[in-house]
Structure 1
Amino acid sequence: MTRILHLTDLHFGFHRAALEKPLLERIAALQPDLVTVGGDLTHRGLTGQMAQARAFLDRIAAPLICLPGNHDVPLWNLVARTFWPFRDYRKVFGPSLTPRAQAGDVRVMAINSADPYSWQRGKIRAGEVARVIEHVDPLGTNIAVLHHPLQQLPRVDKALARQAAEGLRRMEAAGVHVVLSGHLHRWAVDDLLATGRYPRVLQIQTGTALCARVTDVQNEFALLEIEGTDLRLERHMAPMGGQGFGEPEIARYSRASGVWRRV
Structure 2
Amino acid sequence: MGVTLRLAHLSDIHFGGENKAAVAAAGEILRGGGFNLIVVTGDLTQFAEAPELEAAAHWLATLPEPRLVTPGNHDAPYMNWLERIFRPFARYERLIGPARIQQHLSPGLAVFGVNTARGAQPRLNWSKGQISRGQVEEAAAWLQTTDGDAVRILACHHPLTEMIGGPMTARVWGGDKAAEAFTEAKVDLVLSGHIHAPFAWPYAFGDKKTYAVGAGTLSVRERGVPPGFNVIEIEEQTIRVIAQGWTGSHFEPQRTWSLDRRG
TM-score by length of 1: 0.89
- Rounded to whole Å, the distance in 2 between the matches of 1:154 and 1:96 is 28
Structure 1 segment 113-128 matched on structure 2, within 5 A: 113-118=116-121, 119-128=126-135
Describe how 1:223-238 pairs up with structure 2 within 5 A: 223-238=231-246
- Give the match for residue 148 of structure 1: 158
Alignment counterpart, residue 206 of structure 1, candidates 194, 212, 215: 215
Tell me, yes or no, if the aligned pair for 1:145 and 1:181 is still in contact at 8 Å. yes
Give the whole-Å Cα distance in 1 for the aligned partners of 2:77 and 2:232.
Answer: 32
Answer whether contact 1:122 1:148 (CA < 8 A) is retained.
Answer: yes
| Displacement after TM superposition at 1:135 (Å) | 1.2
User: What letter is aligned with 1:143?
Assistant: I
Partner of 2:16 in structure 1? 13
Number of aligned residue pairs: give it: 251
* Structure 2: stretches of 5+ with no match in the other structure: none
Quick check: 22-31 or 219-228, which moved more?
Answer: 22-31
Query: Is contact 2:180–2:205 with CA below 8 Å preserved after alignment?
Result: no
Alignment of 1:145-224 (within 5 A): 145-156=155-166, 157-189=168-200, 192-193=201-202, 196-197=204-205, 199-208=208-217, 210-224=218-232
For 1:224, give the aligned amino acid: I
Q: Which amino acid aligns with 2:235?
A: E
Distance 1:228 1:11 in 2: 35
1:62 Cα deviation from its structure 2 partner: 2.8
Equivalent position SS for 2:227: strand
Percent sequence identity is: 27
Cα separation, partners in 2 of 1:220 and 1:35, compared to 1, 3 Å: same
Kept in 2, the 8 Å contact 1:32–1:62? The answer is no
The reply to whether residue 132 of structure 1 matches residue 135 of structure 2 is no
Residue 44 of structure 2 aligns to a residue whose secondary structure is coil
The whole-number CA distance in structure 2 between the counterparts of 1:147 and 1:117 is: 16
Tell me which moved more, 31-40 or 157-166: 157-166
Name the Cα RMSD after superposition: 1.8
Deviations 1:143-194 (A, max 9, x none): 00100001114534425110000111111111111110110112221xx33x
- Do the aligned partners of 1:151 and 1:165 also contact (CA within 8 Å) in 2? yes
Deviation string 1:39-74 (CA, Å, 9 cap, x unpaired) is: 000001100000000111111013101011000001
* Partner SS state of residue 131, structure 1: helix
